[in-house]
Structure 1
Amino acid sequence: MRSPLVTAILPAKDAGAYIATTLETLARQFDDPAVLKLVAIDDGSRDDTGALMRRHAARFPHAEVLVNAEPRGLASARNQGLAHVEGEAFCFVDGDDWMQPQRLAVLARRLRELDADYLRTDHVTVTAGERSLVRAPHPWREVVASPRDAILPATETTMVDYPFAWAGIFHRRIIDRGLAEFPAGLFTAEDRPWIWRLHLQAASFAVVDAPALLYRRGVTTSLTQVRDRRQLDFVRAMREVVEIVEADAEAERFLPKAVWSSLALSAHHLVRARRMPRALRAEMRTGIVGLLRALPGGEVAAAVRHLDGPRRRVLARALRESGHGA
């Protein structure tokens, strides 16, 4: 039996309604099933997610199912999976998404041909049966480039604003260089510090075309939908982003982008907080004010000038309270 070429890391919690589809599509990625290793992590599920993982794992020549008695969060569960990677490449999959056939075969081949540290792709969102293509915000396709050169411009959407871990494939040297792990314990926005570190410290990447990954929107258990304390983690995540950038040799070049992203996400979460319970809404505002207070004043003023009117209005009070003015 062949050794694995690619490892798919699949963490999930209470995804029983969807995960059979995810696992079924993973079984259709290579002509030879032995090429793929499945590492599934049942992160404290209270439904049949774990049972479905074990049932489908029997179809893979190489498979491990890890079980957490209590939820550790997506970041920690993905990190668990990284310790079990075999082969020259790995990818992440969420328990409520699925792939078109041969996606991983195409990505593994292109990763080898381009000899890049990692590849990124577009993805398709699925909302109530409607599908929409979301393009990776990089103008060049099938061309190896420096990840650092894909961070700017500061006030436009770039590859660090496309943090989705499942939208690509990674060479295992990303693990060897200590760039694959997520900040432990984050329940949301765990991919923000991760994508920044990747773009600042990896040597090469490319955006390529491949069969689609389909991402379900509107799933009630998804952390993009819930409005509870876990959403507060975005503050910690963006603090880590700023710290990562400030420690970089080209901090002056990239800090305006980190500040602009912090402001844009803060505006987004202030709007979402309007539907939270009052106490949690106040806690979210306090966290955002603390985040803004830690940002350099000159960069904040410049970034605010480039925000659209609605976001400036949403942020006005928090900016005043953080000492940055309106």
Structure 2
Amino acid sequence: MPAAANPRFSVIIPVYGVEGYIRECLESVTTQSYRDFEVIAVDDCSLDSSGAIIDEFAARDPRVRAVHRAENGGIGAARNTGVEHARGDYLLFLDGDDSIRPGSLQAMADRLDAAQDPEILIFDHVRTHVDGSVEPSRTGPHLADIRDRVVRPVDELALLRIFAVVWNRVYRRDFFTGEGYTFTDGLYEDALMVYTTMAAAQRVAGLEYVVVEYRQRRQGSSMRSSSPRKHFVIFDQYQRVFDYLEGRPGLDAYRELVFERMVAHFLYTFARGFRIPRSHRRAYLKQASKTYRRNEPAGFTPPPGMVGLKFKVMRSGSYTAWEALKTVNGTRETAFGALGRSKRWGGRKALRAYYAVQRRLPIDENLAVYSAYWGRTPSCNPLAVHEAAKKLAPGLRGVWVVNQAYARTVPSGLSRIAPATFGYWKAMARAKYLVNNVNFPDAVIKRPGQVHLQTHHGTPLKRMGLDQQHYPAVARSMDFDKLLERVDRWDYSVSSNQHSTEQWERVYPAAFQSLNTGYPRNDVYYRATAADVRRIRGELGIGQGKKALLYAPTVRDHQKDAFVSRLDLGRFARELGPDHVLLVRAHYFYGGDPELAALAESGALVDVSRHPSVEELCLAADALITDYSSIMFDYANLDRPIVTYADDWEMYRTCRGVTFDLLSGEPGDTPGVIATTEDELIEAFRSGAWKGEPAAALRQAFRERFCAWDDGFAAERVVRSVFLGEDRLRPPVVPATERTPAPSPTTAEGTPALPQDTLAEARSDH
């Protein structure tokens, strides 16, 4: 049997710390119309779930190979590992946080065929920014010049002015390996590879096609490393270039242009304070001057104007001369930024002054401020964390920010402070820990030493964060610059599942640490007893033997003023019959609804919109009916039927956007029966499909995907990580096969009641 032909392309993807992006990267390749390729994804011992994601792709697509390095070696080592495993005619190096556009591989294959397999093919790219804007490159004119030609770079020196990175070109593998090219350690390895390969190549072609979307990350990019000494490797990398060029004939003009590009690169790096801070600038200039003089071509003339002056100063290595040049050029840094930030203040002068004074006083290491849903009733993940902290960190005091309108709903034993008061600003200034499931107001300034725990309040089916920029219904009311300022305050981000972690990492680009703990608010679904279920149902007036259905639709961004049910609640309740109780919970964004109130008054249904605990409502319900609300992900922990009523799916995903196809019917996407009309919904209950075996199978796959970390101990893991400072998450997640969710209402009603002391003991041992 003849051996399989080599693929046309080997796409080599180094993978480290890109769990928010690697899925999009891999999908951009595997969904290409051109199919003759292989993907070699190299996990460089990533500390997040990136390695698991590439394993997932490899398991379902034979063209994807997941390679796991034994130890972290950096992006160069990961690329070298990829080359060792490559079988393709051409090597495409793609970073794990970037992607390629549709049609890219076909366009490259066609151009390579037309050019008769050159050693290098250079193509175009764009930069994509966090604000959604797309910036064209400056590569186009250079590629247009060689549109129909194959050239030697030494004869087309303008090609050296193209962005010197390896991911905007493909290399013929026999050329790359035959010349013995390997990537070096450290940053700026691309420049070394580009200038050495271009010096040796005899046949280079261009492609005027935008292939790569180069993501400009706010955080996480190696080029934004805060370690200045890591950036000093730029001198070693360029010295290797000139050592490579030394003694090679016919490269005088090539060498001179590379020298010019080198100095420009030194200047570019030097000008970025996050790379070379003031404390390291003298040393940087000294080393730059040494490399400059060592490799300066004979008779080299610096460019004219201010750029040329900068060249001369860099050659001299004089920091004093550089500072003088900055003054002349009008680029001296100022402190006006602080003045601009001060304009964010609002409110009374006394409160502002008081807050400023309090921020100068010592932080209270034993104080935590909690808040949920913009100052509403204490609830959700923050409340579960607070309850766990009282047991595991008893020395930590907790206070709750609660608006006056909700003051009466604060459970006994919880301390409350009102927003925009002296007590509030004192707590915000002095507390060690700030815990919220949304964001604190913009006026809050996180001090050094404070810890901000963002718990979130749902798994994102709908688009969140920066993704909302593309959906006018929500984008028009969002200031995304302010959003990023708020996100920059986060130290920890609690995640309920892998899907959420990937979304939060991507749509909230900041330096927080993801806590893959599960949702603390979902612990109750594994700790509640039969007595708890009976009690809650009794308080809601659900008679024994009745089937309680919880209807909890989400808000519509294009319809926020008042609750308008998409379901004829009166008809639906009648069709269900007397053996069912319909619990209706309107979204908390909506005010009271007269029609809903009238139906509740008549006894047709129970309005639970203002019930303080969603978790208790879920425990009481035999089944959940919802549309696109994140309640479905939490309720799935109970392993009870979920029915999706989605009569406006196309409008919703057009107006708000979604992260996956809830209505696909595929395992993992759809939690149970789908109804897109009222009649279909009624029939689902009339026929028994809502609780049938097909629905149960879908629910099981949904639970496996979205409830993998929820086991009853999420709050403990959060407290141990954040408040107790433990390095690793513990206790470990209980395997799904060993978990027992709270008993269903039917089971609970058939379970004998326990004495109160026995019940308390059962809760503590669960």
Aligned pairs (5 A) from 1:23-38:
23-32=26-35, 35-38=36-39
Q: 1:77 to 1:274 in 2, by over 3 A?
A: closer
- In 2, Cα distance between the equivalents of 1:238 and 1:160? 16
Partner secondary structure for residue 223 of structure 2 = coil
Aligned pairs (5 A) from 1:231-250:
231-250=231-250
In structure 2, the partner of 1:123 is 125
1:206-239 deviation digits (Å, cap 9, x = unpaired):
1113353100013411123334222112111111
Tell me, yes or no, if structure 1 residue 141 matches structure 2 residue 147: yes
Partner secondary structure for residue 68 of structure 2 = strand
Q: 1:251 to 1:209 in 2, by over 3 A?
A: closer
In structure 1, the partner of 2:471 is none
In structure 1, the partner of 2:84 is 83
1:131-167 deviation digits (Å, cap 9, x = unpaired):
0211423422132111222225xxxxx4354222111
- In 2, Cα distance between the equivalents of 1:251 and 1:170? 21
Partner secondary structure for residue 208 of structure 2 = coil
Partner secondary structure for residue 26 of structure 1 = helix
Q: How many residues align?
A: 311
Is contact 2:150-2:205 (8 Å) kept? yes
- In 2, Cα distance between the equivalents of 1:9 and 1:275? 27
Q: How far has the Cα of 1:14 moved from its partner?
A: 0.3
Letter in 2 for 1:85: A
Higher relative contact order (CA 8 A, sep 6+): 1
- In 1, Cα distance between the equivalents of 2:283 and 2:45? 27
Letter in 2 for 1:270: F
Is contact 2:224-2:275 (8 Å) kept? no
Q: 1:3 to 1:206 in 2, by over 3 A?
A: closer
Letter in 2 for 1:144: V
Q: 1:14 to 1:307 in 2, by over 3 A?
A: farther
Partner secondary structure for residue 83 of structure 1 = helix
Tell me, yes or no, if structure 1 residue 66 matches structure 2 residue 63: no
Letter in 1 for 2:316: R
Letter in 1 for 2:85: H
- In 2, Cα distance between the equivalents of 1:314 and 1:38? 44
In structure 2, the partner of 1:159 is 160
TM-score of the superposed pair, with normalisation by structure 1: 0.86
Tell me, yes or no, if structure 1 residue 9 matches structure 2 residue 35: no
- In 2, Cα distance between the equivalents of 1:160 and 1:241? 16
Partner secondary structure for residue 221 of structure 1 = coil
- In 2, Cα distance between the equivalents of 1:175 and 1:78? 13
Is contact 1:142-1:209 (8 Å) kept? no
Q: How far has the Cα of 1:288 moved from its partner?
A: 1.2
Root-mean-square deviation (CA), in Å? Answer: 2.5
Q: 1:150 to 1:181 in 2, by over 3 A?
A: farther
Unpaired runs of at least 5, structure 2: 323-766
Is contact 2:168-2:212 (8 Å) kept? yes
Is contact 1:89-1:108 (8 Å) kept? no
TM-score of the superposed pair, with normalisation by structure 2: 0.38
Q: How far has the Cα of 1:29 moved from its partner?
A: 1.9
1:76-118 deviation digits (Å, cap 9, x = unpaired):
2111111111132221110110111221122123212311112
Q: How far has the Cα of 1:295 moved from its partner?
A: 2.4
Letter in 2 for 1:133: P
- In 1, Cα distance between the equivalents of 2:12 and 2:51? 14
Q: 1:262 to 1:118 in 2, by over 3 A?
A: closer
Q: 1:243 to 1:150 in 2, by over 3 A?
A: same
Identity of aligned residues (%): 22
1:278-326 deviation digits (Å, cap 9, x = unpaired):
54434423321221231237445x1x2x1540x445455442248xx99
Q: 1:61 to 1:238 in 2, by over 3 A?
A: same
In structure 2, the partner of 1:18 is 21
Which of structures 1 and 2 has the bigger CA Rg? 2
Q: 1:135 to 1:213 in 2, by over 3 A?
A: same
Q: How far has the Cα of 1:174 moved from its partner?
A: 1.8
Q: 1:264 to 1:277 in 2, by over 3 A?
A: closer
Letter in 2 for 1:127: H
